[in-house]
């Protein structure tokens, strides 16, 4: 464990007590564990239904602690990111077990804000934990169906008010609780640890670095998730802003986004809330934090990656266009593919325009070369897997048109090649123990509250 002093040391000691975990909990297990805790501690836990999912699952919040500070923690905003399910459960368990821990702050915990989407990911929650199995059972909602990005948004020519029932439930909680801190529990896929914070806090970047180091996890020092964010320090960024994304795309002279809204962090900011996202990977690779310059100009690496991504996406788009007339309109998987392919197909041209503005003498680092290549690998595995599930699901119903079989056959062959390439990389990857992922996310959550307290008047 990294040598630290004071409150952070106590936080890390608590985070390192997370037990071994061999799977990720699905919807029913999350509910059962938190409900059991409520039954065991009726004097400590207040359970309240705050909403209903689009497919009829209840959404429940569990409140524990004394206040006056208010903390809001919510998992499942992206249902393919289940580390936060365990973080929410562990936080609730520790609050019930330790009176001194829950003193001074009332914690409001939403164990799963998107049960519908989570159920479509449960096929990989029990492992095996490799990328082939993961992406073959992967589901990510269309942007306009993601809880995290369907808060009301109006900026320049952009307007979004198609708030989901799940998002409305979270909005109402935010307005009621007016949290001191809000932690949206996300995670990434392959890479290192990185964070988003809604504002700078004295000493917090160093603490976030120390948390990752204490679990022997590298920081992600390669290509950031989006070029619009400003770094507060290595692998620590300002929160992604829909306004910044709009301005960035507009400046490139490309069509501005209008298919999703603002984030939970932006919405909570009206109450002075400080928000955090801790992004943790299932797998790491030796190149993730390697800042060694390569012989390759960054401009060329970025442009080549854009070309490869476009080729992959065009293949998926051709298959989807051939299959689309024969696919069910009510499928979440189909809606996801239909939304993501046009959205992602804009990315290569954005990257090429960005590349044109980069100093041609700047050399790409090892981390950047690996990161750009792996973004492409991730996209084709994820959305190729979703499309294949859409086609196979329609065929499995027993009423598919004969015209659906040729595109399905083509996709199986293409996707098998992509899976084989991913499988060849497996021996280079390190699968991070789930308890370490939960530990980092848990420690970062507690460190945020401590940092905000330090700056309180």
* Parts of the chain with a pLDDT under 70: 1-5
Three-class DSSP category at 181: strand
**CA 187 to CA 191: how far, in whole Å?**
11
Nearest Cα neighbor of 217 from 198, 240, 190 is 190
Tokens 């039954």 sit at which residue? 39
Residue 399, classed as helix, strand or coil, is coil
Residues comprising the chain, all counted: 457
Considering the domain delimited by 6-285+432-455, tell me its CATH architecture: 3-Layer(aba) Sandwich (3.40)
Please give the helix or strand (H or E) that residue 440 lies within, else none.
helix 434-455
DSSP-assigned letters across all residues of 400-425: --GGGHHHHHHHHHHHHHHHHHHHHH
Instruction: In whole angstroms, give the CA distance from residue 173 to residue 179.
Output: 9
Please list the residues that pair with 105 across neighbouring strands: 69
Task: Please give the CATH architecture assigned to the domain spanning 293-428.
Answer: Up-down Bundle (1.20)
Q: How many CA atoms lie within 13 A of 185 on its CB side?
A: 32
pLDDT of residue 2: 45
Report d(CA 444, CA 187) in Å as an integer: 13
In this predicted structure, what is the pLDDT of residue 5? 59
Q: Which helix (H) or strand (E) holds 119?
A: helix 115-119
CA-to-CA distance for 213 and 207, rounded, in angstroms? 10
Q: Where in the chain is the domain with CATH 1.20.120?
A: 293-428
Q: Supply the pTM of this predicted model.
A: 0.94
Which tens digit of pLDDT belongs to each residue from 223-253? 788 889 999 999 999 999 999 999 999 998 9
Contact 138, 386 (CB under 8 A): yes
d(CA 122, CA 248): 36
Alpha helices in 262-365 (DSSP H): 264-268, 298-323, 332-345, 347-356
> Range(s) for CATH 3.40.630.10 in the chain?
6-285+432-455
DSSP β-ladder status, 430-431 and 283-284: antiparallel
pLDDT of res. 4: 65
Q: Is the peptide bond before 68 cis (omega within 30 degrees of 0)?
A: yes
Q: Estimate the crossing angle of helix 27-40 against helix 83-97, to 10 degrees.
A: 0
Helix ranges (DSSP H) in 157-297: 165-177, 204-214, 242-251, 264-268
């Amino acid at each position: 464990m990294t040598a630290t002093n004071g409150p952070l040391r106590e936080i890390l000691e608590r985070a390192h007590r997370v037990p071994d975990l061999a799977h990720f909990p699905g919807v029913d297990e999350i509910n059962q564990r938190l409900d059991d805790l409520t039954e065991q501690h009726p004097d400590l836990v207040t359970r309240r239904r705050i909403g209903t999912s689009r497919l009829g699952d209840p959404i429940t919040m569990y409140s524990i602690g004394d206040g006056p500070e208010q903390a809001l923690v919510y998992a499942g905003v992206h249902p393919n990111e289940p580390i936060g399910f365990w973080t929410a459960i562990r936080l609730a368990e520790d609050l019930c077990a330790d009176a001194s821990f829950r003193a001074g702050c009332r914690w409001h915990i939403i164990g799963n804000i998107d049960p519908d989407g989570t159920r479509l990911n449960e096929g990989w929650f029990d492992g095996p934990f490799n990328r082939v199995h993961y992406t073959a059972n992967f589901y990510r909602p269309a942007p306009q169906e993601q809880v995290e990005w369907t808060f009301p948004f109006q900026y320049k020519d952009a307007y979004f008010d198609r708030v989901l029932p799940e998002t409305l439930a979270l909005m109402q909680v935010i307005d009621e609780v007016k949290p001191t801190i809000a932690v949206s529990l996300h995670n990434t896929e392959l890479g290192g640890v990185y964070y988003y914070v809604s504002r700078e806090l004295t000493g917090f970047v160093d603490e976030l670095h120390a948390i990752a180091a204490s679990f022997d996890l590298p920081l992600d020092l390669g290509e950031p998730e989006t070029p619009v964010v400003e770094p507060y320090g290595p692998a620590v960024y300002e929160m992604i802003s829909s306004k910044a994304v709009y301005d960035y795309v507009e400046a490139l002279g490309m069509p501005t986004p209008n298919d999703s809204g603002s984030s939970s962090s932006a919405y909570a900011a009206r109450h002075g809330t400080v928000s955090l996202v801790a992004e943790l990977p299932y797998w790491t690779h030796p190149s993730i934090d390697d800042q060694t310059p390569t012989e390759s100009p960054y401009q060329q690496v970025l442009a080549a990656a854009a070309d490869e991504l476009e080729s992959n996406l065009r293949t998926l788009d051709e298959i989807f266009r051939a299959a689309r007339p024969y696919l069910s309109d009510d499928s979440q998987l189909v809606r996801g593919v239909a939304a993501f392919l046009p959205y992602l197909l804009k990315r290569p041209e954005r990257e090429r325009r960005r590349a044109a503005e980069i100093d041609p003498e700047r050399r790409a680092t090892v981390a950047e070369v690996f990161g750009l290549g792996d973004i492409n690998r991730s996209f084709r595995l994820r959305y190729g897997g979703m499309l294949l599930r859409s086609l196979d699901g329609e065929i499995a119903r027993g009423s598919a048109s004969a015209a659906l079989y040729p595109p399905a056959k083509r996709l199986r062959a293409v996707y098998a090649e992509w899976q084989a390439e991913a499988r060849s990389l497996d021996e280079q990857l390190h699968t991070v123990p789930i308890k370490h992922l939960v530990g980092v996310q848990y420690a970062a959550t507690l460190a945020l509250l401590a940092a905000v307290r330090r700056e309180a008047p």
